[in-house]
Structure 1
Amino acid sequence: MTTSERHMTTSDTYTGTGDAEVATAAARAGADVVRGMYGRRLARIDKGAGDFATEADVAAEKAILDVIRAARPDDTVLGEEGGRRGAADAARQWMVDPLCGTLNYAVGNMLVAVNVALRDGAAAVADPFSGEVFHTDGTSARVRHGEAERAEGAEGADALLVPSSDTRLVDVNLDPPFPGAPGFRGVDLLAHPGFVARFRPRVVSTTLALAWVAAGRRAAYVTDGGDLSESVHFAAGIALCRAAGCVVTGVDGAPLGRAGRGLVAAADAETHGLLMSMIDGR
Protein backbone atom coordinates (compact mmCIF):
# COMPACT_ATOMS: atom_id res chain seq x y z
CA MET A 1 0.00 0.00 0.00
CA THR A 2 1.35 3.42 -0.93
CA THR A 3 1.62 6.36 1.45
CA SER A 4 -1.26 8.16 -0.25
CA GLU A 5 -3.48 5.05 -0.17
CA ARG A 6 -2.82 4.60 3.54
CA HIS A 7 -3.85 8.17 4.22
CA MET A 8 -7.01 7.79 2.19
CA THR A 9 -8.13 4.62 3.98
CA THR A 10 -6.98 4.86 7.59
CA SER A 11 -9.91 6.10 9.68
CA ASP A 12 -7.93 8.23 12.10
CA THR A 13 -6.35 10.31 9.33
CA TYR A 14 -9.13 10.46 6.74
CA THR A 15 -12.52 10.36 8.40
CA GLY A 16 -14.70 11.89 5.70
CA THR A 17 -14.93 13.45 2.29
CA GLY A 18 -14.84 17.12 3.32
CA ASP A 19 -12.22 19.41 1.81
CA ALA A 20 -10.51 19.90 5.17
CA GLU A 21 -9.99 16.15 5.47
CA VAL A 22 -8.66 15.98 1.93
CA ALA A 23 -6.20 18.78 2.71
CA THR A 24 -5.16 17.11 5.97
CA ALA A 25 -4.70 13.69 4.37
CA ALA A 26 -2.74 15.17 1.46
CA ALA A 27 -0.45 17.21 3.70
CA ARG A 28 0.19 14.21 5.93
CA ALA A 29 1.00 12.03 2.90
CA GLY A 30 3.56 14.59 1.75
CA ALA A 31 4.97 14.88 5.26
CA ASP A 32 5.49 11.11 5.43
CA VAL A 33 7.62 11.28 2.29
CA VAL A 34 9.63 14.25 3.56
CA ARG A 35 10.31 12.53 6.88
CA GLY A 36 11.15 9.21 5.20
CA MET A 37 13.73 10.77 2.88
CA TYR A 38 15.34 12.95 5.54
CA GLY A 39 19.09 12.55 5.93
CA ARG A 40 19.71 10.98 2.53
CA ARG A 41 22.01 12.37 -0.13
CA LEU A 42 19.42 13.79 -2.50
CA ALA A 43 19.85 14.99 -6.05
CA ARG A 44 19.14 18.70 -6.48
CA ILE A 45 17.15 20.33 -9.26
CA ASP A 46 18.48 23.82 -9.99
CA LYS A 47 15.83 26.55 -10.32
CA GLY A 48 18.25 29.42 -10.82
CA ALA A 49 19.16 32.40 -8.61
CA GLY A 50 20.42 30.03 -5.91
CA ASP A 51 17.08 28.24 -5.54
CA PHE A 52 16.67 24.50 -5.93
CA ALA A 53 14.39 21.56 -5.27
CA THR A 54 15.35 18.07 -4.15
CA GLU A 55 14.08 14.59 -4.92
CA ALA A 56 12.09 14.86 -1.70
CA ASP A 57 10.19 17.92 -2.97
CA VAL A 58 9.19 16.06 -6.13
CA ALA A 59 8.26 12.82 -4.36
CA ALA A 60 6.24 14.62 -1.69
CA GLU A 61 4.31 16.54 -4.34
CA LYS A 62 3.46 13.28 -6.09
CA ALA A 63 2.13 11.79 -2.85
CA ILE A 64 -0.01 14.88 -2.28
CA LEU A 65 -1.34 14.79 -5.84
CA ASP A 66 -2.29 11.13 -5.45
CA VAL A 67 -4.49 11.99 -2.46
CA ILE A 68 -6.15 14.98 -4.13
CA ARG A 69 -6.75 13.13 -7.40
CA ALA A 70 -8.35 10.19 -5.59
CA ALA A 71 -10.71 12.44 -3.65
CA ARG A 72 -11.23 15.33 -6.09
CA PRO A 73 -10.46 14.07 -9.63
CA ASP A 74 -12.04 17.10 -11.34
CA ASP A 75 -10.09 19.75 -9.42
CA THR A 76 -7.03 21.57 -10.74
CA VAL A 77 -3.77 21.45 -8.79
CA LEU A 78 -1.04 24.09 -8.90
CA GLY A 79 2.16 22.54 -7.54
CA GLU A 80 5.43 24.23 -6.67
CA GLU A 81 7.40 21.61 -8.60
CA GLY A 82 5.06 20.32 -11.31
CA GLY A 83 3.12 23.45 -12.16
CA ARG A 84 -0.55 23.38 -13.09
CA ARG A 85 -2.36 20.10 -13.63
CA GLY A 86 -5.89 20.45 -14.90
CA ALA A 87 -7.90 23.22 -16.53
CA ALA A 88 -6.66 26.75 -15.93
CA ASP A 89 -10.24 28.02 -15.56
CA ALA A 90 -11.38 25.29 -13.15
CA ALA A 91 -13.68 26.49 -10.39
CA ARG A 92 -11.63 24.66 -7.76
CA GLN A 93 -7.85 24.85 -7.55
CA TRP A 94 -5.53 23.34 -4.97
CA MET A 95 -2.19 25.03 -4.24
CA VAL A 96 0.63 22.73 -3.14
CA ASP A 97 4.05 23.51 -1.68
CA PRO A 98 5.37 20.02 -0.91
CA LEU A 99 8.44 21.11 1.05
CA CYS A 100 8.68 24.67 2.32
CA GLY A 101 12.16 25.12 3.72
CA THR A 102 14.08 23.09 1.15
CA LEU A 103 17.40 24.69 2.06
CA ASN A 104 16.79 23.91 5.73
CA TYR A 105 15.96 20.31 4.83
CA ALA A 106 18.94 19.87 2.51
CA VAL A 107 21.40 20.77 5.26
CA GLY A 108 19.77 18.57 7.89
CA ASN A 109 17.53 21.15 9.57
CA MET A 110 14.06 19.85 10.47
CA LEU A 111 12.30 23.24 10.28
CA VAL A 112 10.14 22.59 7.23
CA ALA A 113 6.46 22.49 6.29
CA VAL A 114 4.17 20.78 3.80
CA ASN A 115 1.46 23.17 2.55
CA VAL A 116 -1.83 22.22 0.88
CA ALA A 117 -4.65 24.71 0.28
CA LEU A 118 -7.86 24.89 -1.70
CA ARG A 119 -8.19 28.41 -3.04
CA ASP A 120 -10.63 30.31 -0.79
CA GLY A 121 -11.32 27.14 1.18
CA ALA A 122 -9.80 24.41 3.29
CA ALA A 123 -6.07 24.16 3.99
CA ALA A 124 -3.49 22.19 5.94
CA VAL A 125 0.10 22.70 7.03
CA ALA A 126 1.97 19.59 8.17
CA ASP A 127 5.12 19.48 10.26
CA PRO A 128 6.81 16.25 9.14
CA PHE A 129 8.91 15.89 12.26
CA SER A 130 6.51 16.78 15.06
CA GLY A 131 3.69 14.93 13.32
CA GLU A 132 1.35 17.89 13.78
CA VAL A 133 -1.07 18.93 11.05
CA PHE A 134 -2.58 22.40 11.36
CA HIS A 135 -5.81 22.50 9.36
CA THR A 136 -8.86 24.60 8.61
CA ASP A 137 -12.19 24.17 6.88
CA GLY A 138 -12.20 27.91 6.19
CA THR A 139 -14.16 28.70 9.35
CA SER A 140 -12.17 27.39 12.32
CA ALA A 141 -8.53 26.33 12.64
CA ARG A 142 -7.27 23.31 14.57
CA VAL A 143 -4.20 21.16 15.09
CA ARG A 144 -4.14 17.39 14.83
CA HIS A 145 -1.30 15.86 16.78
CA GLY A 146 1.01 13.10 15.64
CA GLU A 147 0.09 9.42 15.56
CA ALA A 148 2.16 8.58 18.66
CA GLU A 149 0.36 11.22 20.74
CA ARG A 150 -3.04 10.08 19.50
CA ALA A 151 -2.19 6.44 20.27
CA GLU A 152 -1.44 7.46 23.83
CA GLY A 153 -4.82 9.20 24.09
CA ALA A 154 -3.33 12.68 24.30
CA GLU A 155 -5.75 15.41 25.31
CA GLY A 156 -6.72 17.84 22.55
CA ALA A 157 -5.64 15.63 19.67
CA ASP A 158 -7.70 17.92 17.40
CA ALA A 159 -7.43 21.15 19.37
CA LEU A 160 -8.63 24.62 18.43
CA LEU A 161 -5.87 27.06 17.46
CA VAL A 162 -5.79 30.15 19.69
CA PRO A 163 -3.50 33.00 18.57
CA SER A 164 -1.59 34.86 21.26
CA SER A 165 1.14 37.49 21.31
CA ASP A 166 2.40 36.37 24.72
CA THR A 167 5.61 34.85 23.34
CA ARG A 168 6.64 38.23 21.86
CA LEU A 169 8.43 36.23 19.16
CA VAL A 170 8.12 37.61 15.63
CA ASP A 171 9.31 35.61 12.66
CA VAL A 172 10.76 37.71 9.85
CA ASN A 173 11.49 36.25 6.44
CA LEU A 174 14.94 37.45 5.39
CA ASP A 175 15.26 35.41 2.21
CA PRO A 176 16.03 37.40 -0.95
CA PRO A 177 14.92 38.90 -3.24
CA PHE A 178 13.77 42.07 -1.52
CA PRO A 179 11.26 43.65 -3.91
CA GLY A 180 10.23 46.28 -1.36
CA ALA A 181 13.78 47.66 -0.90
CA PRO A 182 14.75 50.33 -0.16
CA GLY A 183 11.23 51.10 1.08
CA PHE A 184 11.02 48.00 3.25
CA ARG A 185 13.45 45.29 4.23
CA GLY A 186 12.98 42.87 7.07
CA VAL A 187 16.44 43.58 8.41
CA ASP A 188 15.41 47.22 8.95
CA LEU A 189 12.55 46.08 11.14
CA LEU A 190 14.89 44.02 13.31
CA ALA A 191 17.01 47.11 14.00
CA HIS A 192 14.03 49.34 14.88
CA PRO A 193 14.27 50.51 18.53
CA GLY A 194 10.58 49.83 19.07
CA PHE A 195 10.91 46.29 17.78
CA VAL A 196 13.87 45.57 20.03
CA ALA A 197 11.98 46.95 23.03
CA ARG A 198 8.81 44.97 22.42
CA PHE A 199 9.63 41.80 20.46
CA ARG A 200 12.29 39.17 19.87
CA PRO A 201 13.11 38.17 16.30
CA ARG A 202 13.16 34.64 14.94
CA VAL A 203 14.12 33.45 11.46
CA VAL A 204 12.68 30.01 10.81
CA SER A 205 12.93 30.29 7.00
CA THR A 206 9.76 28.30 6.39
CA THR A 207 6.05 29.14 6.38
CA LEU A 208 5.62 26.72 9.26
CA ALA A 209 5.99 29.94 11.24
CA LEU A 210 2.59 31.09 9.94
CA ALA A 211 0.96 28.03 11.48
CA TRP A 212 2.75 28.92 14.71
CA VAL A 213 1.19 32.39 14.65
CA ALA A 214 -2.24 30.78 14.40
CA ALA A 215 -1.32 28.43 17.25
CA GLY A 216 -0.02 31.13 19.61
CA ARG A 217 3.62 30.09 19.31
CA ARG A 218 4.58 33.27 17.47
CA ALA A 219 3.21 36.77 17.95
CA ALA A 220 3.54 37.58 14.25
CA TYR A 221 5.13 36.78 10.90
CA VAL A 222 6.44 39.40 8.48
CA THR A 223 7.68 39.02 4.91
CA ASP A 224 8.30 41.28 1.94
CA GLY A 225 7.09 40.37 -1.53
CA GLY A 226 4.42 41.02 -4.09
CA ASP A 227 0.90 39.56 -4.16
CA LEU A 228 1.09 36.53 -1.88
CA SER A 229 -2.65 35.86 -1.67
CA GLU A 230 -2.51 33.02 -4.21
CA SER A 231 1.05 31.83 -3.62
CA VAL A 232 1.57 28.09 -3.20
CA HIS A 233 4.05 28.95 -0.45
CA PHE A 234 1.72 31.11 1.64
CA ALA A 235 -1.87 30.11 0.81
CA ALA A 236 -2.23 27.43 3.50
CA GLY A 237 -0.63 29.49 6.25
CA ILE A 238 -2.72 32.55 5.40
CA ALA A 239 -5.89 30.45 5.47
CA LEU A 240 -4.97 29.10 8.92
CA CYS A 241 -4.25 32.55 10.32
CA ARG A 242 -7.48 34.00 8.99
CA ALA A 243 -9.58 31.13 10.32
CA ALA A 244 -7.88 31.40 13.72
CA GLY A 245 -8.76 35.10 13.94
CA CYS A 246 -5.35 36.64 13.30
CA VAL A 247 -4.95 40.06 11.65
CA VAL A 248 -3.61 39.53 8.13
CA THR A 249 -2.59 42.31 5.72
CA GLY A 250 0.21 43.31 3.39
CA VAL A 251 3.26 45.15 4.72
CA ASP A 252 1.55 48.34 3.52
CA GLY A 253 -1.52 47.59 5.62
CA ALA A 254 -3.68 46.89 2.58
CA PRO A 255 -5.77 43.73 2.21
CA LEU A 256 -3.97 40.88 0.51
CA GLY A 257 -4.52 40.79 -3.23
CA ARG A 258 -3.16 42.09 -6.49
CA ALA A 259 -2.86 45.61 -5.13
CA GLY A 260 -1.09 44.49 -1.96
CA ARG A 261 2.46 43.42 -1.27
CA GLY A 262 4.12 41.23 1.29
CA LEU A 263 2.50 39.90 4.43
CA VAL A 264 2.02 40.78 8.08
CA ALA A 265 0.13 38.12 10.04
CA ALA A 266 -0.30 39.06 13.69
CA ALA A 267 -1.95 37.31 16.62
CA ASP A 268 -4.01 40.39 17.52
CA ALA A 269 -4.78 43.96 16.48
CA GLU A 270 -2.38 45.49 18.99
CA THR A 271 0.59 43.50 17.72
CA HIS A 272 -0.36 44.22 14.13
CA GLY A 273 -0.66 47.93 14.85
CA LEU A 274 2.73 48.06 16.56
CA LEU A 275 4.45 46.33 13.66
CA MET A 276 2.75 48.54 11.09
CA SER A 277 3.83 51.66 12.96
CA MET A 278 7.41 50.42 12.87
CA ILE A 279 7.23 49.54 9.16
CA ASP A 280 5.60 52.87 8.26
CA GLY A 281 7.71 55.01 10.55
CA ARG A 282 11.24 53.83 9.76
Structure 2
Amino acid sequence: MMNSLTDLDDAGVAAAAARAGADVVRDLYGRRLARIDKGGGDFATEADVAAERAILGVLRAARPDDAVLGEEGGRQGAADAARQWLVDPLCGTLNYAVGSMLVAVNVALREGAAAVADPFSGDVFRTDGESAWVRGEGADQRGDGADRRLIPTSASRLVDVNLDPPFPGAPGFRAVDLLARPAFAEHFRPRVVSTTLALAWVAAGKRAAYVTDGGDLSGSVHFAAGIALCRAAGCVVTGIDGAPVGQGGQGLVAAADAETHRLLMTMVRSRE
Protein backbone atom coordinates (compact mmCIF):
# COMPACT_ATOMS: atom_id res chain seq x y z
CA MET A 1 0.00 0.00 0.00
CA MET A 2 1.26 3.46 -0.87
CA ASN A 3 1.95 5.59 2.18
CA SER A 4 1.91 9.05 0.63
CA LEU A 5 1.40 11.07 -2.51
CA THR A 6 5.13 10.87 -3.19
CA ASP A 7 4.74 7.10 -3.72
CA LEU A 8 2.38 7.63 -6.66
CA ASP A 9 3.55 7.58 -10.26
CA ASP A 10 2.87 10.68 -12.36
CA ALA A 11 -0.46 9.35 -13.64
CA GLY A 12 -1.51 8.68 -10.06
CA VAL A 13 -0.50 12.18 -9.01
CA ALA A 14 -2.43 13.72 -11.91
CA ALA A 15 -5.52 11.70 -10.99
CA ALA A 16 -5.26 12.55 -7.29
CA ALA A 17 -4.88 16.25 -8.08
CA ALA A 18 -7.79 16.26 -10.54
CA ARG A 19 -9.95 14.40 -8.04
CA ALA A 20 -9.13 16.95 -5.32
CA GLY A 21 -10.18 19.78 -7.63
CA ALA A 22 -13.33 17.92 -8.65
CA ASP A 23 -14.33 17.48 -5.00
CA VAL A 24 -14.23 21.25 -4.52
CA VAL A 25 -16.16 21.94 -7.73
CA ARG A 26 -18.87 19.48 -6.72
CA ASP A 27 -19.08 20.77 -3.13
CA LEU A 28 -19.52 24.40 -4.23
CA TYR A 29 -22.03 23.64 -6.98
CA GLY A 30 -25.26 25.59 -6.76
CA ARG A 31 -23.97 28.17 -4.31
CA ARG A 32 -23.97 31.89 -4.94
CA LEU A 33 -20.31 32.47 -5.83
CA ALA A 34 -18.36 35.68 -6.26
CA ARG A 35 -16.97 36.25 -9.76
CA ILE A 36 -13.54 37.51 -10.79
CA ASP A 37 -13.78 39.47 -14.04
CA LYS A 38 -11.13 38.63 -16.66
CA GLY A 39 -12.41 41.00 -19.33
CA GLY A 40 -14.06 40.32 -22.66
CA GLY A 41 -16.99 38.61 -20.96
CA ASP A 42 -14.78 35.97 -19.35
CA PHE A 43 -14.64 35.39 -15.61
CA ALA A 44 -13.62 32.95 -12.91
CA THR A 45 -15.60 32.05 -9.81
CA GLU A 46 -14.62 31.27 -6.24
CA ALA A 47 -14.92 27.61 -7.23
CA ASP A 48 -12.21 27.97 -9.91
CA VAL A 49 -9.83 29.53 -7.40
CA ALA A 50 -10.60 27.07 -4.60
CA ALA A 51 -10.30 24.06 -6.91
CA GLU A 52 -6.93 25.25 -8.19
CA ARG A 53 -5.77 25.70 -4.59
CA ALA A 54 -6.73 22.09 -3.82
CA ILE A 55 -4.94 20.83 -6.94
CA LEU A 56 -1.80 22.79 -6.07
CA GLY A 57 -1.84 21.27 -2.60
CA VAL A 58 -1.65 17.78 -4.08
CA LEU A 59 1.02 18.68 -6.64
CA ARG A 60 3.21 20.43 -4.06
CA ALA A 61 2.97 17.49 -1.69
CA ALA A 62 3.66 14.90 -4.39
CA ARG A 63 6.15 16.74 -6.62
CA PRO A 64 7.58 19.73 -4.67
CA ASP A 65 10.34 20.40 -7.22
CA ASP A 66 7.98 20.76 -10.19
CA ALA A 67 6.58 24.04 -11.54
CA VAL A 68 2.89 24.63 -12.13
CA LEU A 69 1.06 26.77 -14.69
CA GLY A 70 -2.46 27.38 -13.42
CA GLU A 71 -5.39 28.96 -15.22
CA GLU A 72 -6.05 31.24 -12.24
CA GLY A 73 -2.71 31.58 -10.45
CA GLY A 74 -0.31 31.63 -13.40
CA ARG A 75 3.16 30.12 -13.14
CA GLN A 76 4.38 29.00 -9.74
CA GLY A 77 7.48 27.17 -8.60
CA ALA A 78 11.15 27.37 -9.56
CA ALA A 79 11.79 29.16 -12.84
CA ASP A 80 14.39 26.53 -13.77
CA ALA A 81 12.21 23.53 -12.88
CA ALA A 82 12.69 20.66 -15.30
CA ARG A 83 9.00 19.71 -15.23
CA GLN A 84 5.78 21.71 -15.39
CA TRP A 85 2.17 20.82 -14.62
CA LEU A 86 -0.67 22.49 -16.54
CA VAL A 87 -3.83 23.05 -14.49
CA ASP A 88 -7.33 24.10 -15.53
CA PRO A 89 -9.31 23.78 -12.29
CA LEU A 90 -12.75 24.25 -13.84
CA CYS A 91 -13.11 23.97 -17.60
CA GLY A 92 -16.61 25.15 -18.38
CA THR A 93 -16.92 28.02 -15.91
CA LEU A 94 -19.76 29.60 -17.89
CA ASN A 95 -21.66 26.32 -17.78
CA TYR A 96 -21.02 25.94 -14.05
CA ALA A 97 -22.11 29.50 -13.26
CA VAL A 98 -25.57 28.89 -14.71
CA GLY A 99 -26.06 25.52 -13.06
CA SER A 100 -24.89 23.17 -15.80
CA MET A 101 -22.85 20.15 -14.73
CA LEU A 102 -20.93 19.96 -18.03
CA VAL A 103 -17.50 20.82 -16.65
CA ALA A 104 -14.08 19.22 -16.28
CA VAL A 105 -11.01 19.48 -14.08
CA ASN A 106 -7.80 19.15 -16.11
CA VAL A 107 -4.30 18.35 -14.80
CA ALA A 108 -1.43 17.49 -17.15
CA LEU A 109 2.32 17.11 -16.86
CA ARG A 110 3.73 18.79 -19.93
CA GLU A 111 4.70 16.00 -22.35
CA GLY A 112 3.68 13.33 -19.85
CA ALA A 113 0.93 11.98 -17.62
CA ALA A 114 -2.48 13.64 -17.38
CA ALA A 115 -5.92 13.35 -15.84
CA VAL A 116 -9.39 14.74 -16.49
CA ALA A 117 -12.03 14.53 -13.76
CA ASP A 118 -15.78 14.84 -14.23
CA PRO A 119 -16.93 16.19 -10.86
CA PHE A 120 -20.53 15.06 -11.25
CA SER A 121 -20.26 11.59 -12.78
CA GLY A 122 -17.30 10.72 -10.58
CA ASP A 123 -15.26 9.58 -13.58
CA VAL A 124 -11.51 10.25 -13.53
CA PHE A 125 -9.78 9.69 -16.87
CA ARG A 126 -6.01 9.33 -16.72
CA THR A 127 -2.99 8.45 -18.82
CA ASP A 128 0.66 7.70 -18.19
CA GLY A 129 1.46 8.94 -21.69
CA GLU A 130 1.23 5.50 -23.27
CA SER A 131 -2.11 3.99 -22.20
CA ALA A 132 -5.34 5.57 -20.94
CA TRP A 133 -7.98 4.45 -18.44
CA VAL A 134 -11.05 5.66 -16.61
CA ARG A 135 -12.22 4.91 -13.09
CA GLY A 136 -15.38 6.12 -11.43
CA GLU A 137 -19.08 5.70 -10.80
CA GLY A 138 -20.11 6.62 -14.33
CA ALA A 139 -17.46 4.39 -15.91
CA ASP A 140 -18.01 1.30 -13.86
CA GLN A 141 -21.63 0.34 -13.27
CA ARG A 142 -20.53 -2.51 -11.01
CA GLY A 143 -19.24 0.03 -8.51
CA ASP A 144 -16.07 -1.93 -7.75
CA GLY A 145 -13.73 0.96 -8.61
CA ALA A 146 -11.90 -1.00 -11.31
CA ASP A 147 -9.99 0.70 -14.11
CA ARG A 148 -11.34 0.43 -17.63
CA ARG A 149 -9.12 0.94 -20.65
CA LEU A 150 -10.26 3.77 -22.90
CA ILE A 151 -11.28 2.50 -26.33
CA PRO A 152 -12.29 5.18 -28.85
CA THR A 153 -15.01 4.47 -31.39
CA SER A 154 -16.96 6.60 -33.86
CA ALA A 155 -20.13 4.52 -33.49
CA SER A 156 -22.10 7.33 -31.84
CA ARG A 157 -21.48 9.67 -34.83
CA LEU A 158 -21.57 12.53 -32.30
CA VAL A 159 -19.07 15.33 -32.89
CA ASP A 160 -18.53 18.16 -30.41
CA VAL A 161 -17.67 21.48 -32.03
CA ASN A 162 -16.38 24.36 -29.94
CA LEU A 163 -18.19 27.55 -30.97
CA ASP A 164 -16.67 29.83 -28.33
CA PRO A 165 -14.61 32.83 -29.51
CA PRO A 166 -11.98 33.84 -30.42
CA PHE A 167 -11.86 32.55 -34.00
CA PRO A 168 -8.26 32.94 -35.18
CA GLY A 169 -8.82 30.62 -38.14
CA ALA A 170 -11.43 32.89 -39.74
CA PRO A 171 -12.20 33.49 -42.53
CA GLY A 172 -10.41 30.36 -43.72
CA PHE A 173 -12.08 28.21 -41.07
CA ARG A 174 -15.24 28.86 -39.09
CA ALA A 175 -16.60 26.11 -36.89
CA VAL A 176 -20.17 27.23 -37.52
CA ASP A 177 -19.61 26.76 -41.27
CA LEU A 178 -18.54 23.17 -40.64
CA LEU A 179 -21.93 22.44 -39.10
CA ALA A 180 -23.72 23.90 -42.14
CA ARG A 181 -22.03 21.58 -44.64
CA PRO A 182 -24.43 18.95 -46.05
CA ALA A 183 -21.73 16.29 -45.68
CA PHE A 184 -21.56 16.92 -41.94
CA ALA A 185 -25.24 16.15 -41.43
CA GLU A 186 -24.87 13.12 -43.68
CA HIS A 187 -22.16 11.54 -41.52
CA PHE A 188 -22.34 13.11 -38.05
CA ARG A 189 -24.56 14.76 -35.45
CA PRO A 190 -23.30 17.97 -33.81
CA ARG A 191 -22.99 18.58 -30.09
CA VAL A 192 -21.81 21.71 -28.27
CA VAL A 193 -20.87 21.24 -24.60
CA SER A 194 -18.39 24.11 -24.20
CA THR A 195 -15.91 22.15 -22.08
CA THR A 196 -12.90 20.03 -22.93
CA LEU A 197 -14.56 17.15 -21.10
CA ALA A 198 -15.58 16.34 -24.67
CA LEU A 199 -11.98 15.31 -25.43
CA ALA A 200 -12.11 12.70 -22.66
CA TRP A 201 -15.36 11.49 -24.21
CA VAL A 202 -13.63 11.02 -27.58
CA ALA A 203 -10.95 8.92 -25.90
CA ALA A 204 -13.63 6.91 -24.08
CA GLY A 205 -15.78 6.22 -27.16
CA LYS A 206 -18.62 8.53 -26.12
CA ARG A 207 -17.94 10.92 -29.01
CA ALA A 208 -16.69 10.35 -32.54
CA ALA A 209 -14.64 13.55 -32.60
CA TYR A 210 -14.00 17.02 -31.24
CA VAL A 211 -13.18 20.12 -33.31
CA THR A 212 -12.02 23.54 -32.18
CA ASP A 213 -10.28 26.57 -33.65
CA GLY A 214 -7.25 28.14 -31.98
CA GLY A 215 -3.50 28.40 -32.08
CA ASP A 216 -1.01 26.00 -30.51
CA LEU A 217 -3.14 24.10 -27.99
CA SER A 218 -0.57 21.50 -26.92
CA GLY A 219 0.65 23.67 -24.04
CA SER A 220 -2.76 25.05 -23.13
CA VAL A 221 -4.05 24.44 -19.61
CA HIS A 222 -7.48 23.88 -21.18
CA PHE A 223 -6.47 21.26 -23.75
CA ALA A 224 -3.24 19.53 -22.69
CA ALA A 225 -4.87 16.84 -20.52
CA GLY A 226 -7.54 15.97 -23.08
CA ILE A 227 -5.03 15.82 -25.93
CA ALA A 228 -2.83 13.50 -23.87
CA LEU A 229 -5.78 11.18 -23.19
CA CYS A 230 -6.79 11.06 -26.85
CA ARG A 231 -3.26 10.33 -28.04
CA ALA A 232 -2.72 7.58 -25.48
CA ALA A 233 -6.09 5.99 -26.33
CA GLY A 234 -5.12 5.81 -30.01
CA CYS A 235 -7.20 8.64 -31.44
CA VAL A 236 -6.07 10.63 -34.48
CA VAL A 237 -5.09 14.10 -33.25
CA THR A 238 -4.03 17.00 -35.49
CA GLY A 239 -4.60 20.70 -36.00
CA ILE A 240 -7.44 21.90 -38.23
CA ASP A 241 -4.82 22.17 -40.98
CA GLY A 242 -3.96 18.49 -40.61
CA ALA A 243 -0.52 19.25 -39.17
CA PRO A 244 0.67 17.87 -35.82
CA VAL A 245 -0.57 19.76 -32.77
CA GLY A 246 2.25 21.90 -31.49
CA GLN A 247 4.20 25.07 -32.03
CA GLY A 248 2.97 26.77 -35.16
CA GLY A 249 -0.14 24.58 -35.26
CA GLN A 250 -3.70 25.78 -35.48
CA GLY A 251 -6.68 24.42 -33.60
CA LEU A 252 -7.54 20.81 -32.99
CA VAL A 253 -9.30 17.86 -34.59
CA ALA A 254 -9.36 14.80 -32.33
CA ALA A 255 -11.07 11.83 -33.96
CA ALA A 256 -11.78 8.31 -32.77
CA ASP A 257 -10.35 6.77 -35.93
CA ALA A 258 -8.63 7.60 -39.20
CA GLU A 259 -11.80 7.52 -41.32
CA THR A 260 -13.63 9.96 -39.06
CA HIS A 261 -10.61 12.23 -39.13
CA ARG A 262 -10.40 12.03 -42.92
CA LEU A 263 -14.07 12.94 -43.34
CA LEU A 264 -13.80 15.91 -40.99
CA MET A 265 -10.63 17.21 -42.62
CA THR A 266 -12.32 17.03 -46.03
CA MET A 267 -15.12 19.23 -44.68
CA VAL A 268 -12.77 21.60 -42.86
CA ARG A 269 -10.84 22.19 -46.08
CA SER A 270 -13.94 22.51 -48.23
CA ARG A 271 -15.03 25.99 -49.27
CA GLU A 272 -18.42 24.92 -50.56
Same fold (TM over 0.5): yes
Deviation of the 1:115 alpha carbon: 0.0
Q: CA RMSD in A?
A: 2.0
Measured in 2, the distance between the counterparts of 1:270 and 1:152 equals 34
1:91 aligns with 2:82: yes
Identify unmatched segments of 5+ residues in structure 1.
1-9
Deviation of the 1:266 alpha carbon: 0.3
1:213 aligns with 2:202: yes
Deviation of the 1:91 alpha carbon: 1.1
What corresponds to 1:271 in structure 2?
260
Q: Is contact 1:15–1:21 with CA below 8 Å preserved after alignment? A: no
Q: Is contact 2:137–2:143 with CA below 8 Å preserved after alignment? A: no
Measured in 2, the distance between the counterparts of 1:148 and 1:258 equals 34
1:160 aligns with 2:152: no
Specify which of 99, 102, 108 is matched with residue 108 of structure 1.
99
1:40 aligns with 2:37: no
Matches within 5 A, 1:173-192: 173-192=162-181
1:231 aligns with 2:216: no
Secondary structure of the 1:45 match is strand
Secondary structure of the 1:227 match is coil
Measured in 2, the distance between the counterparts of 1:258 and 1:94 equals 18
Secondary structure of the 2:119 match is coil
Measured in 2, the distance between the counterparts of 1:252 and 1:17 equals 38
Q: Is contact 1:141–1:161 with CA below 8 Å preserved after alignment? A: yes
Per the alignment, do residues 173 and 123 of structure 1 end up closer, same or farther by CA in structure 2, a change over 3 Å counting?
same
What corresponds to 1:58 in structure 2?
49
Secondary structure of the 2:250 match is coil
Q: Is contact 2:18–2:105 with CA below 8 Å preserved after alignment? A: yes
Deviation of the 1:89 alpha carbon: 3.4
Identify unmatched segments of 5+ residues in structure 2.
none
Letter in structure 2 aligned against 1:223: T
Specify which of 119, 123, 141 is matched with residue 110 of structure 2.
119
What corresponds to 1:4 in structure 2?
none
Specify which of 170, 182, 201 is matched with residue 190 of structure 2.
201
Deviation of the 1:152 alpha carbon: 3.9
Q: Is contact 1:19–1:137 with CA below 8 Å preserved after alignment? A: yes
What corresponds to 1:7 in structure 2?
none
The percent identity for this pair of structures is 79
Per the alignment, do residues 15 and 79 of structure 1 end up closer, same or farther by CA in structure 2, a change over 3 Å counting?
closer
Deviation of the 1:16 alpha carbon: 4.2
Measured in 1, the distance between the counterparts of 2:157 and 2:6 equals 36
Q: Is contact 2:68–2:75 with CA below 8 Å preserved after alignment? A: yes
Deviation of the 1:279 alpha carbon: 0.5
1:21 aligns with 2:12: yes
Q: Is contact 2:6–2:63 with CA below 8 Å preserved after alignment? A: no
Measured in 2, the distance between the counterparts of 1:150 and 1:242 equals 26
**Residue range with higher mean Cα deviation, 79-88 or 167-176:** 79-88
TM-score by length of 2: 0.96
Between the two proteins, the alignment pairs up a number of residues equal to: 271
TM-score by length of 1: 0.92
Deviation of the 1:242 alpha carbon: 0.2
Measured in 2, the distance between the counterparts of 1:108 and 1:183 equals 35
Specify which of 219, 227, 243 is matched with residue 254 of structure 1.
243
Residues 6-37 of structure 1 show CA distances to partners (whole Å, capped at 9, x for unaligned) of: xxxx97x9794200000000000000000000
